[in-house]
Structure 1
Amino acid sequence: MLKGNRLQGLCVALLFFGCTAAFAQKTTVKFDFGSGKVAKGFTGATAKDVYSEAKGYGFEPATPVTAVDRGSKDALKGDFVTSEKPFYFSVKVPEGNYKVTVTLGDPKGKSATTVKAESRRLMLENIQTQAGQSVSKTFIVHIKDRKINDTKQVSLKPRELTKLDWDNKLTLEFSQKPALAAVEITKVEDQITVFLAGNSTVVNQEDEPWASWGQMIPRFFKPGVAIANHAESGLSLGSFIGSHRLEKILSVLKLGDYVFVEFGHNDEKEKGPNAGPYKSYTERLRLFASEVKSKGGHLVILTPTARRSFNEQGDMTNSHGDYPDAAKKVAEQEKVPLIDLTAHTTTLYETLGVEGSKNAFVIYPEQNLNDNTHFNPYGAYQIAKMVAEGIKAHNLNLAAYLQELPTYDPKKPDPFKNFNWPPSPSASLLKPDGN
C-alpha cells in the first residue's frame, strides 16, 4: 500500500485530470523543497526529482539544484533548494490561469530571487531575504494550448513548437541566489485575463538577449489579472487572424476580459490593392473590435512601438507612416482606449539620445547584432511601464491591480546603469521574424 508523500507524488501528475485519490480532491498542489522533513499536506521535492511526463513534476534536467537542510524544526522553511545558475521547476497542467505562491528564504543566510515563468515572463523581481527571514509571494501565470475546438487549432510557426509557452506544463525559472522552500499552485477561474495580440515587440521572447514589453508587463500586476500573451514574431494583423490566433482568444475570452492589440511593423510590408493603413489594417482592427465586443470583452489598441531611426541631425524620424494615425482613428470610431506607444517610445529614444538609445535595443557590435527594432530586457521593461501608465491614464479597471510604482515618464526613464536583469540560460544570435 502507498502512503503519505509517495501517494501524493504519484497523484500530482493527475491532479488536474481527475486523480481519484484523496490528494487529488485538493484544489492546490503543494511542493516542499529540500532534503529535510516534508511539511504536512505537501509533496516532497528533492534535487533528484527530475521532470518526466509520467511523474508530472520536477526540475528540468539541464538545470540541476542543490538541496540544503538547516536542521530546523520548521519542516517547510528549514530546508530549501538553490543553485548558482538559473534553474527550472515544472508541473504538468492543462490550459488556464494559475495562482502561484512561492516561499523563499534561508534560515542561516541571505537570498535574492527573480522568478520568470514559461518563456521568460517576469513575475517577481529581486526578492531579497535576510538570514532567518522567510517571505511568500503570489502571482498569476496563464497557461495556453493551441486547441480551439475538436477540429481546429492555432497554426504555430516551427520555432513555437519548442517554446515553453506552448507546452503542456507550467514552468518556473528561479535565478540570482534563490533559497526556494515551497511552491503552491492553484487553478483559478476568477481572474481578469488580458490577452495580448501582436508581433515580435509583444511576444514572449524565449532567448536572450531579445525581449518584449509583453513578457515584462506581468511583473506590474497583482493577483486578480492574468496576462495571456498570444503574440508571435513576424505577424501582421492578417497573419495573426489567418493562423487562427484571434479565434483562439475568442474561444477562451470571458465577459470582462481584455484584448490589447499592437500591430504595424509587418503590416507595412504587405502588398496588394487592399493593403495599407486605411484599408486592410483599418478593416482588421475593426474586426478585432467587433469580435471582442460581441464576446463581452474590452479592446485596447496600441500604436506600434517606434523603430530607432535617427536622421543625420540626431532627430527621430517616423518609420511607420500613417499606421499610427490609422490606429488612432479606429480607436476613436470604435470608442475604445488607445495607448500611443509610437509617441511614447519616440520620446524615450530622443531622451536617451542617439547613442544612449542603443542600450534599449539588441545592438551588440561584439556579437555582430545591430537591431533597431527589437528590444533587449531594459528597453522592453521601459515600454511595459508605458503600457501600465496607459492603463492608469484611461482609468481601466485593470489599474486597481497594478503594483504601486512611481509614475513613469518616458522623458525620465530608469537609468540603464541601474537596471539588473538576471539572464536566462537560453540565448540566440538569431534575429526574430519581422523588423
Structure 2
Amino acid sequence: MREQTIVFLAGDSTVAARPIHEKPSFGWGVHLGATLNARISTVTGEPIPVFNIAKGGASTDSFREEGLWKALLAELTPIDVVLIQFAHNDQKLGHLSPAGGFSANMERFTDDVQECGALPILCTPPARRTWSGEELINSHGDYPDATRRLAERRQIPLVDLTASTTELIRTLGSSESARLYAHLPPGLSPSYPDGLADNTHFSFAGACAVAEIVADEIEEVVRARVHGTSPDAGR
C-alpha cells in the first residue's frame, strides 16, 4: 500500500486549474500544494502531493456522473485527505437545493471517503465579490449553512471559506477587493478583447490568498496524517 499521504481536491472552477484561454482566472487548488509544503515537512523530505481533480462547471451531480469522483476514489487510501467544495453550480439546478439534492450528494461523498478510511474535509464556497452599495451580498443562499450542518452532524472538519473570504472582501473594501478577482482591462487579452470583470473567479493573488486560508485550516490535520498521529487531529 502507498505510504505517502495525498491531499485530493474535489470541486468546481473556483478550485480547479483553469485553461490557458481563461487566464487571468485561477482556482485556489493550484496553489495549495506549494502553500502546504512550505509549512509541513515529511519524514522522507518528499513534498506532499495535492491531486486537484476539481473541474470548471462541476456540480455535485456532474462530478460523479462524469466519472471524476470514481477516479478519485480509485486512488484513495486510509492515510489520505479529501477536500470537497461545491455549491456554485448546484445553485443553478433546482433539484440540487441546499436541503435536498445538494446535501444528499455531499453526504454521499462523505460516506464514500470514510468507507475508504480516508478523511473528508468539507468546504463552504468562497464568496462572490457582489456589492450593493457598501453591503456585500450573500450570493450562495443556504448552501454554506447546509455544508456547515453536515460537517457538524458528521463531526468532520470544515473549512468555512464563505465566512473567511467574506471577511477578507469586507476588510479590503469594494475597490481594493477587486484585485482578488479576475479583472482585466480591455485590449490586454485576445480572449477578452473588451476586458473582464469576473467577481466569482480569482486572480493569481486571490487564488494564493484563498490557498493560504485553506492551508491555515487544514495544516494540523494534514500534518497528523503525514506523520501517522491521530487522523482526526485538528477537529
* TM-score normalised per structure 2: 0.85
Q: 1:236 to 1:198 in 2, by over 3 A?
A: same
Which residue pairs with 1:204 in the alignment? 17
Q: Deviations over 1:366-403 (max 9, x none)?
A: 242011101110000000000011114xx3143687xx
1:70-219 mapped onto 2 (5 Å cutoff)? 189-207=2-20, 208-219=23-34
1:221-370 mapped onto 2 (5 Å cutoff)? 221-222=36-37, 223-271=46-94, 274-312=95-133, 314-367=134-187, 368-370=195-197
Rounded Cα–Cα distance in structure 2 between residues aligned with 1:397 and 1:363: 33
* Aligned-partner SS, 1:371: strand
Q: Deviations over 1:89-128 (max 9, x none)?
A: xxxxxxxxxxxxxxxxxxxxxxxxxxxxxxxxxxxxxxxx
Q: 1:400 to 1:235 in 2, by over 3 A?
A: closer
Letter in 2 for 1:386: I
Rounded Cα–Cα distance in structure 2 between residues aligned with 1:227 and 1:303: 19
Whether the 8 Å contact between 2:9 and 2:82 is mirrored in structure 1 is yes
Rounded Cα–Cα distance in structure 1 between residues aligned with 2:52 and 2:140: 24
Match of 2:218 among 380, 385, 391: 391
Query: Of the two structures, which has the highest relative contact order with CA contacts closer than 8 Å and spacing of 6 or more?
Result: 2
* Aligned-partner SS, 1:300: strand
Q: Which has the higher strand share?
A: 1
Point out 4+ residue stretches in structure 1 off by more than 2 angstroms.
221-224, 397-401
Q: Identify which range, 378-387 or 214-223, moves more after superposition.
A: 214-223
- Number of equivalences: 209
Rounded Cα–Cα distance in structure 1 between residues aligned with 2:112 and 2:12: 20
Rounded Cα–Cα distance in structure 1 between residues aligned with 2:5 and 2:19: 25
Whether the 8 Å contact between 2:24 and 2:183 is mirrored in structure 1 is no
Identity of aligned residues (%): 35
Q: Which has the higher helix share?
A: 2
Whether the 8 Å contact between 1:194 and 1:228 is mirrored in structure 2 is yes
Which residue pairs with 1:372 in the alignment? 199
Rounded Cα–Cα distance in structure 2 between residues aligned with 1:384 and 1:263: 16
Q: 1:296 to 1:224 in 2, by over 3 A?
A: farther
Q: 1:202 to 1:387 in 2, by over 3 A?
A: same
Rounded Cα–Cα distance in structure 2 between residues aligned with 1:352 and 1:399: 34
Whether the 8 Å contact between 1:225 and 1:398 is mirrored in structure 2 is no
Q: 1:286 to 1:298 in 2, by over 3 A?
A: same
Whether the 8 Å contact between 2:80 and 2:225 is mirrored in structure 1 is no
Rounded Cα–Cα distance in structure 1 between residues aligned with 2:205 and 2:224: 23
* Aligned-partner SS, 2:8: strand
* TM-score normalised per structure 1: 0.46
Q: 1:293 to 1:400 in 2, by over 3 A?
A: closer
Rg larger for: 1
Q: 1:203 to 1:397 in 2, by over 3 A?
A: closer
Q: 1:251 to 1:384 in 2, by over 3 A?
A: same
Residue 365 (structure 1) shift: 3.0
Q: 1:320 to 1:286 in 2, by over 3 A?
A: same
